[in-house]
Amino acid sequence: MSETTIESILQEKRLFAPCSEFSQNANIKSFAEYQQLYEQSISDPEGFWANLAETELDWFQKWDRVLDWQPPFAKWFVNGKINISYNCLDRHLTTWRKNKAAIIWEGEPGDSRTLTYAQLHREVCQMANVFKQLGVKKGDRVGIYMPMIPEAAIAMLACARIGAPHSVVFGGFSAEALKARLQDAEAKLVVTADGGFRKDKVVPLKDALDEALSNNGVPSVENVLVVQRTKQTINMQEGRDHWWHELHAQASINCPPEPMDSEDLLFILYTSGTTGKPKGVVHTTGGYNLYTHITTKWAFDLKDTDVYWCTADVGWITGHSYIVYGPLSNGATSLMYEGAPRASNPGCFWDVIEKYGVTIFYTAPTAIRAFIKMGDEHPNARDLSSLRILGTVGEPINPEAWMWYHKVIGGERCPIVDTWWQTETGGFMITPLPGATSTKPGSATRPFPGIIADVVDLEGNSVGNNQGGYLVIKHPWPSMMRTVYKDDDRFRRTYWEHILPKNGKYLYFAGDGARKDEDGYFWIMGRVDDVMNISGHRIGTMEVESALVSHPAVAEAAVVGRPDELKGEDVYAFVTLEGSYQPSEALKEELKKHVVKEIGAIARPGEIRFADALPKTRSGKIIRRFLRNLAAGQELVGDISTMEDLSVLDKLREGA
Ligand code: 6R9
């Protein structure tokens, strides 16, 4: 557990009520309606979820039990049979949605594609048949390492169709990081592309995969399916590598969806934790389908006329739940954009909104802060009047960034949906419902129906209003992670044992600090464990430390997050060197490059500081609290009596 003291200083009093015209037309129309749903969901959770599962999803076979809860292991809709690709595709084909746009895609260079539900279904069936042809069977894991192109979503849905769990690895991860994830998942097939376009550069995905697989690096991988995107020259290994466009041409368009058990593994998604090894977060089928479906419908007030755009990458949970599964299960039009905000095209996001008449726009505070810096003239020069709802996710949003989003992007008419959730939770946990909940800038507001959230101390006792504490969830929910892949023990230790069970009841601890105000609104205060939040991406301090220590020059490394205006946090590393190495600027650069190679550009340290020694407790633990203070340029605070060698601190200060 962290040494951070949880203190909350933010006092934000502004309140924004939904306008009555919006509420009248909303899926959830009033605060009273939200409260009624919430009460119902708490007094009879099983009845509440069963009713939604029945009315919102199609099942091949009904469940016999809604919830089997043997803490900390949950099973939802026990013995139900379902296929999420059926719910995302087939069931829409018998309605007018057959020819509705399922995916609108815009490439970074300006090329574009639209796939209707009928076309997407066809593509998914074809890719699923190619998977089968390449020997993939139900239960086999498939790695997906892709740019933001429709085939990324097609590959995910094709996996779901035949019951092969996917493990998507973000295209910004390096060969080393990719290798570790493919090894852990024991992937049999990897779907990739020659490359992708990102920030005016070509990302050489296939080269990175080749490197990960070199020297039999991932022995489980038998085949690689390569989508052509950038057309750069790549190596194709005979017998192992196959072009999608070649196999696509002959693939049958019929592929019946596999009836999956509700608890069959749908996907693994790796996320950073407090140790160096990423955790494979396990999500299963039925509960995940239901929860992502209903949260999309209610929190984004989704209508058939909406053009919905989530700017996340499919390599993160936000892309899984809110580009692919949630929106498509609802029959929505989901926009995918390959590009990232970049200096060479500061208006690119606003152009996309104008071009397609986007109505719901979901992005991250780090992007919002970058846009603020680029200047109001870019959004002001575009017609953003199609927008009706704005969303944010990934880190706490500063109230001033919220106000800018509200005014400059939302024209003061669009409710802002600040969604707090995690890879582990599968879907939104704390979020406004736009027609029902008044918002306060910087607060994710209230729990979604069915979610019992609280702020507690380490003994599991609720703390008072406006007191900081640990954010916990007190009752299982359908899309909760089921375990850490192949490591039940780590699952139990990481999420269920930090906070003591209260009256025999287990509390899920998310890793975030929070406070609840007098109106029951939650204010997330950020991670309290050794996990940084860099531009909304979770990076474990240990992962970066392990990467640094794997360099021959480094004896010891301690990494902390330092507050950063744009990224939220930036990586700050303290490093001690092996005897024969001397500190130099060149070595700093080399170490930064080394981290990029080991993990990826998202983990590149903003600053490296060489030190003679690191501050440690007498038992040998690095005292990160001090390092965080130093990195932030603050005075050292807190008890130093446990410190082993006080002169270390003086030296670190002098080096500042
Ligand atoms: C969905 C996603 C999860 C961590 C989470 C928290 C932070 C996410 C937030 C937020 C404040 C929000 N976080 N949304 N903090 N307000 N609306 O981001 O998943 O990548 O697993 O990160 O992100 O610290 O614990 P993931």
Domain boundaries, the chain: 551-654
Ligand 1 atom, smallest distance to 524 CA: 11
* Cα(635)–Cα(633) distance, integer angstroms: 7
* Cα(146)–Cα(193) distance, integer angstroms: 6
Please give the pLDDT value at position 284.
98
**How far is the centre of ligand 1, averaged over its atoms, from the C-alpha of 526 (Å)?**
8
* Cα(115)–Cα(99) distance, integer angstroms: 9
Ligand 1 atom, smallest distance to 424 CA: 21
* Cα(424)–Cα(269) distance, integer angstroms: 9
| CB 102, CB 324: distance < 8 Å | no
Ligand 1 atom, smallest distance to 538 CA: 20
Give 626's pLDDT tier (boundaries 50, 70, 90): confident
Ligand 1 atom, smallest distance to 430 CA: 17
**How far is the centre of ligand 1, averaged over its atoms, from the C-alpha of 283 (Å)?**
17
* Cα(186)–Cα(218) distance, integer angstroms: 8
- Pairing label, strands 112-116, 241-243: unpaired
Find the farthest-apart pair of alpha carbons in the chain and give their distance in angstroms, rounded.
74
Query: Within 10 A of 639 (CB to CB), how many other CB atoms are there?
Result: 9
Chain mean pLDDT for the chain: 94
| CB 156, CB 144: distance < 8 Å | yes
CA-nearest residue for atom 7, ligand 1, is 395
Q: What is the mean pLDDT of residues 13-29?
A: 95
* Cα(236)–Cα(93) distance, integer angstroms: 37
634 assigned ligand-binding residue = no
Of 445, 470, 538, 539, best ligand 1 pocket probe by most atoms within 8 Å of the beta carbon: 538
Element (H, E) at 608: strand 607-610
- Pairing label, strands 537-540, 554-564: unpaired
| CB 121, CB 98: distance < 8 Å | no
Number of helices (H), then strands (E), belonging to the chain: the values are 22, 29
Of 10, 269, 393, best ligand 1 pocket probe by most atoms within 8 Å of the beta carbon: 393
Taking Cα atoms as reference points, which of 573, 450, 588, 441 lies closest to residue 517? 441
pLDDT in tens, 570-590: 999 999 999 899 999 999 999
* Cα(79)–Cα(262) distance, integer angstroms: 6
CA angle 170, 171, 173 (to 5 degrees): 75
Is the confidence at residue 7, as pLDDT, over 80? Answer: no
**How far is the centre of ligand 1, averaged over its atoms, from the C-alpha of 510 (Å)?**
10
184 assigned ligand-binding residue = no
Taking Cα atoms as reference points, which of 192, 181, 255 lies closest to residue 225? 192
* Cα(340)–Cα(198) distance, integer angstroms: 6
Give 522's pLDDT tier (boundaries 50, 70, 90): very high
| CB 476, CB 425: distance < 8 Å | no
pLDDT in tens, 281-334: 999 999 999 999 999 999 999 999 999 999 999 999 999 999 999 999 999 999
Please give the pLDDT value at position 3.
37
Q: How many residues does the chain have?
A: 656
Of 533, 537, 539, best ligand 1 pocket probe by most atoms within 8 Å of the beta carbon: 533
| CB 391, CB 363: distance < 8 Å | yes
- Pairing label, strands 101-106, 196-198: unpaired
DSSP type of residue 96? G
Please give the pLDDT value at position 633.
84
pLDDT in tens, 219-255: 999 999 999 999 999 999 999 999 999 999 999 999 9
551 assigned ligand-binding residue = yes
Q: Residue for token digits 């109505």?
A: 359
Assigned token pair, 439 = 């918002």
Assigned token pair, 233 = 């020259």
Is the confidence at residue 4, as pLDDT, over 90? Answer: no
* Cα(244)–Cα(236) distance, integer angstroms: 12
**How far is the centre of ligand 1, averaged over its atoms, from the C-alpha of 409 (Å)?**
22
Please give the pLDDT value at position 375.
93
Q: Hey, what's the torsion of the CAs at 325, 326, 330, 331, to 10 degrees?
A: -50
**How far is the centre of ligand 1, averaged over its atoms, from the C-alpha of 537 (Å)?**
8
Is the confidence at residue 8, as pLDDT, over 60? Answer: no
Please give the pLDDT value at position 636.
67
Q: What is the pTM of this model?
A: 0.93
Is the domain defined by 551-654 classed in CATH 3.40.50.2300? no
Residue type, 118: A
| CB 66, CB 46: distance < 8 Å | yes
Q: What is the mean pLDDT of residues 13-37?
A: 96
End-to-end CA distance of the chain: 28
554 assigned ligand-binding residue = yes
CB-facing half-sphere around the CA of 614: CA atoms within 13 A: 25
Ligand 1 atom, smallest distance to 444 CA: 17
CA-nearest residue for atom 12, ligand 1, is 420
Q: Which residues contact 314 (CB under 8 A, 6 or more apart)?
A: 144, 146, 148, 152, 153, 156, 168, 320, 323, 324, 336
**How far is the centre of ligand 1, averaged over its atoms, from the C-alpha of 136 (Å)?**
34
Rg (CA), the chain: 24
**How far is the centre of ligand 1, averaged over its atoms, from the C-alpha of 541 (Å)?**
16
Give 504's pLDDT tier (boundaries 50, 70, 90): confident
What angle separates helix 647-654 from helix 624-631, to the nearest 10 degrees? 20
**How far is the centre of ligand 1, averaged over its atoms, from the C-alpha of 474 (Å)?**
18
Least confident of 130-134, 589-593, 610-614: 610-614
| CB 285, CB 82: distance < 8 Å | yes
Is the confidence at residue 562, as pLDDT, over 80? Answer: yes
463 assigned ligand-binding residue = no
**How far is the centre of ligand 1, averaged over its atoms, from the C-alpha of 395 (Å)?**
5
Three-class DSSP category at 97:
helix
pLDDT in tens, 75-129: 999 999 999 999 999 999 999 999 999 999 999 999 999 999 999 999 999 999 9
CA-nearest residue for atom 16, ligand 1, is 396
Residue type, 494: T
Please give the pLDDT value at position 325.
99
* Cα(318)–Cα(620) distance, integer angstroms: 38
| CB 85, CB 102: distance < 8 Å | no
Please give the pLDDT value at position 642.
62
Assigned token pair, 211 = 């490197």
584 assigned ligand-binding residue = no
Q: Is 77 left (phi over 0), alpha (psi -120 to 50) or beta?
A: left
Give 347's pLDDT tier (boundaries 50, 70, 90): very high
Least confident of 139-143, 179-183, 648-652: 648-652
CA-nearest residue for atom 22, ligand 1, is 422
Q: Show the ligand 1 pocket: residues with CB < 6 angstroms.
A: 271, 316-318, 393-396, 418-423, 444, 510-512, 524, 526-527, 533, 538
Please give the pLDDT value at position 1.
35
Please give the pLDDT value at position 641.
63
Of 512, 534, 543, best ligand 1 pocket probe by most atoms within 8 Å of the beta carbon: 512
Please give the pLDDT value at position 647.
76
**How far is the centre of ligand 1, averaged over its atoms, from the C-alpha of 480 (Å)?**
15
Please give the pLDDT value at position 341.
86
Q: What is the mean pLDDT of residues 394-403?
A: 92
- In DSSP terms, which residues pair with 74 in a beta bridge? 69
Q: Is 506 left (phi over 0), alpha (psi -120 to 50) or beta?
A: beta
Is the confidence at residue 518, as pLDDT, over 50? Answer: yes
Selected residue with higher pLDDT from 650 and 437: 437
Please give the pLDDT value at position 10.
59
